[in-house]
Structure 1
Amino acid sequence: MDKTRRLWISRLIKGSGCAALYTSHPLLADSPLSNEKENAMRANADYIMVYASPYSTQDHQFCPHMHHELKKNIEEMSSGRIYLDIQDTGVLGTGHELMAKVSRGAISAALVSVSNLAPAAPELDILNIPFWSSKEQDYLNLVTSDTWKNLIIKRIKSQGKLDILFHYLPGSRTVSTTMKNPNVIKRPDELQGVIFRVPNSHSLKTFYQLAEASPVDVDWLNVSRMAKSGRIHAMDPSIIGLHNGPLGLREHIGSISQIQSVYDGWMAVVSQQWYSTLPTDLKLVLKDASEKTFRQHLDSVSKIRKACTQSFEDQGTLIYTLTDDERNEWVSRFGPTNETWTAVKRNILGDDKTFEKLLEATKINNGYRISTG
């Protein structure tokens, strides 16, 4: 997106105000009148866009899913020609299942994690090499760069299955232990022998194997049950990810160590099969609405993260921030200069130079910042 369109969208956000989204949007109402209005909007729309999400619309104070904002932006900016049908709480699937449905065009669009998208878009697994793009501004710089769009997003689009609408920035991954095994993990040696839940990511599995943990691939829906029973000892989602885990996962978390290893990114993705049915003007509207939603996300996510952190502290979960010495040990042993990652980088990207270009992109601000409010 060129700078002129970015400036226009930025002004549009400032002029519209975000506060009303949480009070007046029909998604938050449950009256016959609001249902009639929704039915009328759907009937009058030219296109129905089904947006599947594992998260509850009503949990917007603790989850930056942006359901309200995305729906309002798409419908208003398309003058009602696109109706956004949000299917939340995982009713259309979660994780790998959801990703697969969007890939084959069974669902128009969805909110998925980078780790769950990696099997369909292997290039994204480069993000799961630890300690190179894990800090918030570095990750934001990267995913808004032309380098990222040209070297990674274009590869994903060329497969003819998916396109990326916008990125979510919930936070960096942690090392979090369960109530059954509440020891606080501060240094790598403390992971030895720990049964560690990992998503379907070769890079993340390699990382925990290097640390001599015992990584196990567990579907997200089963993590809470296995944590409660003691069949897994630890996991790595961000604080927001842990708080919004299914089946009350947060109740089974004993400690959270903020090691900032890998960014726990999410993405809003659209099926190319559905997207191709839109006329050119609505394709542009969808991109502009996504950009506006992304900027609103950057303005609100810090507040949501603070709410999740406070909620964990209120229930007695210990949240630990590493000392510089402790974090330096993690970085020196498992960071991107570790020889193990040389073959992984080449396998994902095809050469050595591409990773260096991506690393450079983490250091250049593209006009985006996360609000600290």
Structure 2
Amino acid sequence: MKISKRVFLFGVLMCVFALLAACGSSDTGTSDANGEEVFEWSLASIYTDPSTSTEFNAFGVSQQTFADLVEEKSEGRIKINNYYNSVLGANPEMFQNLRIGDLVAYYGEPMANVDERLGVLKLPYLFRDFEDVEKVLSNPDGELFHLYSEWLADHDVKLLAVAPGAFRGITNAKHPVVGIDDVSDLVLRIYEDPVVNSFWGSISNAQPLAFSEVYTALETGTIDGLEFLASSVVQRQFYEVTDHYTDIDWQWASGGTLMIGKEYWDALPDDLQEIVEEAAWEAMAHQGELEKEFTQIALGELEEKGVQVYQLTDEERSEWIDYARSLDEEFRDYVGADVFDQVMEIIESID
């Protein structure tokens, strides 16, 4: 039987609308065997579904861990449906849907194009290492965590927890990178962001490029390399088209922010709120443990694949840090003087 194009398109649209409606729902109309209210949530991210891949997938695994812990600790009173692989949109779309109540929960990276204050978390060498992150941000008592919570609350978003995340190095097909001068002849893919552009724009030929095009661009020589996580270089098989990796760790990857819409949070009774927060911090700690492990495994695997891995000495890294700090006035203008000064005061207080 031949179906008209109009009928087919109508059917597709109905499916899309049904999916979006399901994602924005919090089912408070059912009860469990004890007569207690049962909540059903959607949780979305750009990360890989751990049912298809767990290796070098700390973010995807920790998302599933959170959902499992919540259901277990709440004894089924909260059920979370996970959406992976950007099926509900890229980070900007998901955060926007979270803000307006069309998405219950989101695990990812709120963008500075929504709130310029959020750009401060992308500052080069904001943190020296995972320990710094865990002291002030990936910690329910951390000063920076409380500040971040205030910013997201302005968008009707409840910040549940922040993962220790990861750090971005650099991989390329041309030659080893040790000092800043070593990137002057490289065409580097960057993602679109004022802080990223300021950092790389004056020391390399920095080119914004859609991530989906990176592998082919490396393969054809359109770009020489990119700044990226060691674990993701392995996961995305960029070792096939690059020859060098350096752990410059220039930027903390803040993609492990776990959030829920305020209206859905407020609908929970106190005991379930406590359970959700407890599960959130346990899952985020798991992300950090996995990422640290995966980073070390990835560096070894890159070498096995023929990539020359260079790990900077403290002295060599200080050149990059000094360069980053020379740009602070630009960054201060971008994120706002008050926010910049407030965050830097917190960072400088780290022991």
Q: 1:151 to 1:111 in 2, by over 3 A?
A: closer
Give the 3 Å change call, closer, same or farther, for CA 159–111 of structure 1 in structure 2. closer
What secondary structure is seen at the aligned counterpart in 2 of 1:166? strand
Worse overlay, 293-302 or 183-192: 293-302
Query: Scaled by the length of structure 1, what TM-score is found?
Result: 0.74
Whether the 8 Å CA contact 2:94–2:106 is kept in 1: the answer is yes
Name the CA shift for 1:194/1:237 in 2 (closer, same or farther; >3 Å): same
Equivalent position of 1:56 in the other structure: 49
Amino acid in the other structure paired with 2:174: P
What residue identity is the alignment partner of 1:315? K
- Structure 1 pair 154/85, CA: closer, same or farther in 2 (3 Å)? same
Query: For 1:154 and 1:250, how far apart are their aligned partners in 2?
Result: 41
Aligned to 2:342: 354
Structure 2 CA distance, aligned partners of 1:279 and 1:263? 35
Q: Call closer, same or farther: CA 1:121–1:319 in 2, change over 3 Å.
A: farther
CA RMSD for the aligned pairs?
2.7
Other-structure match for 1:229: 220
Stretches of structure 2 that go unaligned for 5 or more consecutive residues are 1-29
1:181-260 equivalent positions in 2, closer than 5 A: 181-211=173-203, 213-245=204-236, 248-260=237-249
Q: Which aligned pairs between 1:255-270 and structure 2 lie closer than 5 A?
A: 255-267=244-256, 268-270=258-260
Aligned residues: 310
The residue type paired with residue 262 of structure 1 is: Q
**Aligned partners of 1:83, 1:298: CA distance in 2, in Å?**
24
User: Is contact 2:167–2:249 with CA below 8 Å preserved after alignment?
Assistant: yes
Matches within 5 A, 1:62-73: 62-65=56-59, 66-73=62-69
Is contact 1:129–1:203 with CA below 8 Å preserved after alignment? yes
Distance 1:251 1:103 in 2: 40
Q: What is the CA–CA distance in structure 2 between the aligned matches of 1:173 and 1:255, rounded to whole Å?
A: 14
Shift of 1:318: 1.9
1:198-226, Cα deviation, whole Å (9 max, x unpaired): 22321111111232x12223233333333
Identical aligned residues as a percent: 15
Work out which of the two has the higher radius of gyration on C-alpha atoms and give 1 or 2.
Answer: 2
In the alignment, is the contact (CA less than 8 A) between 1:129 and 1:207 conserved in 2? no
Distance 1:347 1:165, change over 3 A: same
Q: Does 1:166 align with 2:157?
A: no
Deviation, structure 1 residue 288: 1.5
1:170-202, Cα deviation, whole Å (9 max, x unpaired): 43211211xxx3322211112224222222321
Gaps of 5+ in 1: 1-41, 365-373
- Cα deviation code 1:12-31 (max 9, x no counterpart): xxxxxxxxxxxxxxxxxxxx
**Equivalent residue for 1:17?**
none
Give the alignment partner of residue 304 of structure 2, picking from 306, 314, 318.
314
